[in-house]
Structure 1
Amino acid sequence: MPIRNVVFFGSSGSGKSSTINMFLGGEIRAPISSGANGCTFESKAYDTTIKNTPYHLYDTAGLNEGSEGAVRSKDAMENLKNLIRSLSSESGGVNLLVFVFRSPGRLTDIVEENYRTFYEGFCDNNKVPIVMIVTGLEDEVPTMNHWWEKNREKFEEKKIRFADVACITATRGKATEDNQRHKNDEEYDLSVTLVKELLVKNCRDSGWKKSDKEWIRGSLKWIRKHFRRPVWSFT
């Protein structure tokens, strides 16, 4: 059975690695560091199986909040090439994009640029379905999903749309006094079910891709054209 490639992205601190860990059932030993400035496209793939279907989950560094200066274009371009080569050669392209957003958080320019960089630039103007996972909602009332009901209109005003959304907590929280459970166990267990259902429901059977050269050239052309800030530096 072909492996399905799922690319997770989002700003620094959004909870990408913690969310991916929910699919793996254990600690990620080498999470992506998202502390670098600019857009790095640095990524790490993790293997998992859901309902007898194999997945590659890519933890990918995108634009960061408060980044200053620019990533060296040589490093960023090399990371982009490596990501594209991995996606196009190993198992046939991108099957799903997952945008991870942490609450509380504002819909900043960085958030919007992250979305458009991957959905429009990297995946050639909406060729791949995209979903959103919102983390940090363990204290949301009456339910975690209430956050999306309150905030959906803000995203739609900026034409940031998703095929589906899961509102979750990606942490079990502090242990209780007797160390028998954790504060967010109930919400966390529900969240594990929600994120797995989100993947199974929205991930396409076949991935989208182009030739390596065409894919790289198209992505860089889009980035040069659309970035308003000096996130990338080209010589």
Structure 2
Amino acid sequence: MHFLPAFLRKDSKASLVNDLLKKIAHEDPLSDKDVFNVVIIGQTGVGASSLINTITGFSQVPVSTDVSPCTKSFTAYPFTLNGRSFRLIDSPGFGSFKCPTSAITKALRELDTQFGIDLVVNCLRGTRGDANAGYQNYTAIRSAVSDDVPIVAVITCLERYGETMDHWWSTNEADLKARRMVFADHACVTTLDASTTRDAMFKDRLFESEKAAKQLIMRNCWAEKRGVGRWARRGDMFLGN
């Protein structure tokens, strides 16, 4: 009989989320029970890691300057907003041969099963890209997490969009729905580093993006966090039940 969860056993198979699961498992359950788990995910190079830096206001998450992946495994960044505690969980990007979709999907399922995912932020590039990849990524996410986990969209790379950033959504939402990509909510943003330009409009958009992303999280993590019974389940696992 095993007395430890599978992801803590020495012989467990390596997973993209193993280190994060171990870290959460060793945290104090009482202090951790009100922390919302928010997964930030998207195609490689779409700006998911940069979005975390935009939300927190700190350049703490490594980002890449091209389509090469910079996130190798699921990594959590603690964040407090309006008195609530969050883990902003950065994910390896879809589309990398080093992190196949099957591995990312498995990791998402493990995280949701063990500790509960409260929100998935699916980042999509606002510029012209591979629409099929966007649908495939959305389908992979939806298949990996519980039906009651909301998936919201953040549209990135809108720093040079000709209209207001949210205009992108009103123009393209119907197309997303036609591709069977239905989101609970959305935000339209830019995540480029402010130090890359002195343009006043861009800086205004960056400020607007930070505000929009934070409001998106608060709107969709307003109720009691999901999976309150998981603490009992964790105890059962350690007791071998």
TM-score (norm 2): 0.69
- Indicate conservation of the 8 Å contact 2:156/2:188, yes or no: yes
SS of the residue corresponding to residue 184 of structure 1 reads: helix
Which residue of structure 2 aligns with residue 122 of structure 1? 144
Which residue of structure 1 aligns with residue 169 of structure 2? 148
- Indicate conservation of the 8 Å contact 2:41/2:92, yes or no: yes
SS of the residue corresponding to residue 43 of structure 2 reads: coil
CA distance in structure 1 between the aligned counterparts of 2:106 and 2:48, rounded to whole angstroms: 18
Match for 2:125 among 72, 85, 102?
A: 102
CA distance in structure 1 between the aligned counterparts of 2:225 and 2:98, rounded to whole angstroms: 38
* 1:182 shift after superposition: 6.0
- Indicate conservation of the 8 Å contact 2:43/2:94, yes or no: yes
* 1:158 shift after superposition: 1.4
CA distance in structure 2 between the aligned counterparts of 1:138 and 1:168, rounded to whole angstroms: 8
Query: Which letter does structure 1 place at the counterpart of 2:75?
Result: K
Cα distance 1:10–1:29, how it changes in 2: closer, same or farther (>3 A)?
A: closer
Query: Where do residues 1-235 of structure 1 align in structure 2 (5 Å cutoff)?
Result: 2-30=34-62, 35=68, 42-64=73-95, 71=100, 76=103, 80=106, 89=114, 92-119=115-142, 121-124=143-146, 126-171=147-192, 172=194, 174-176=196-198, 184-203=202-221, 204-208=223-227
Give the gaps of 5 or more residues in structure 1: 213-235
* 1:184 shift after superposition: 1.4
Cα distance 1:31–1:2, how it changes in 2: closer, same or farther (>3 A)?
A: farther
Cα distance 1:127–1:138, how it changes in 2: closer, same or farther (>3 A)?
A: same
CA distance in structure 1 between the aligned counterparts of 2:68 and 2:75, rounded to whole angstroms: 15
Query: Which letter does structure 1 place at the counterpart of 2:164?
Result: T
Larger RCO (CA under 8 A, 6+ residues apart): 1
Cα distance 1:71–1:18, how it changes in 2: closer, same or farther (>3 A)?
A: closer
SS of the residue corresponding to residue 171 of structure 2 reads: helix
Cα distance 1:69–1:174, how it changes in 2: closer, same or farther (>3 A)?
A: closer
- Indicate conservation of the 8 Å contact 1:98/1:130, yes or no: yes
Indicate the larger mover: 158-167 or 23-32: 23-32
Identify, as 1 or 2, the structure richer in helix. Answer: 2
- Indicate conservation of the 8 Å contact 2:45/2:68, yes or no: no
- Indicate conservation of the 8 Å contact 1:173/1:184, yes or no: no
Query: Which letter does structure 2 place at the counterpart of 1:145?
Result: D
CA distance in structure 2 between the aligned counterparts of 1:173 and 1:155, rounded to whole angstroms: 33
SS of the residue corresponding to residue 54 of structure 1 reads: strand
- Indicate conservation of the 8 Å contact 2:94/2:101, yes or no: no
**Percent sequence identity over aligned pairs:** 27
SS of the residue corresponding to residue 49 of structure 2 reads: helix
* 1:160 shift after superposition: 0.6
CA distance in structure 2 between the aligned counterparts of 1:86 and 1:70, rounded to whole angstroms: 17
Tell me which stretches of 4 or more aligned residues in structure 1 moved more than 6 Å: 209-212
| Residues paired across the two proteins, number | 195
CA distance in structure 2 between the aligned counterparts of 1:72 and 1:111, rounded to whole angstroms: 12
* 1:174 shift after superposition: 3.0
CA distance in structure 1 between the aligned counterparts of 2:214 and 2:101, rounded to whole angstroms: 36
